[in-house]
């Protein structure tokens, strides 16, 4: 009975972690557009974990690198 909900949580967590890994790789390669879109995707997947790990800061730094000053300030 508890197996199905636990499996769903594990699959969603793995998907979120995969998105964050892709964002870090894109950031290391200075691919700001990909990193920004992947972080936006990760936020839509799991907003609570995104906020708990302060990925908004990373998203703001990427927006700064893109010259998007309004988004980086927010």
pLDDT at 45: 86
Q: Is 1 domain-assigned?
A: no
CA distance 26 to 11: 23
For 10-68, how does the pLDDT look when each residue is reduced to its tens digit (9 = 90+)?
A: 655 677 888 888 999 999 999 999 999 999 999 998 899 889 888 989 899 999 988 88
At 64 the three-state DSSP class reads helix
Which CATH number characterizes residue 21's domain?
1.25.40
Q: Is 9 domain-assigned?
A: no
Q: Is 5 domain-assigned?
A: no
Query: How many domains are there within the chain?
Result: 1
How far is residue 35 CA from its own chain's centroid?
Answer: 8
- How confident is residue 3, by pLDDT bands cut at 50, 70 and 90? low
Both tokens of residue 12?
Answer: 């969603």
Q: Is 48 domain-assigned?
A: yes
pLDDT at 46: 86
Domain that holds residue 24: 16-73
């Amino acid at each position: 009975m508890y197996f199905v909900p636990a499996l769903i949580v594990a699959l969603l967590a793995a998907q979120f972690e995969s998105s964050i890994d892709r964002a870090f790789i894109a950031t290391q390669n200075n691919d700001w557009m990909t990193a920004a879109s992947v972080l936006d995707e990760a936020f839509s997947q799991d907003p609570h974990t995104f906020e708990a790990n302060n990925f908004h800061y990373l998203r703001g730094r990427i927006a700064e690198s893109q010259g998007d000053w309004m988004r980086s300030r927010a």
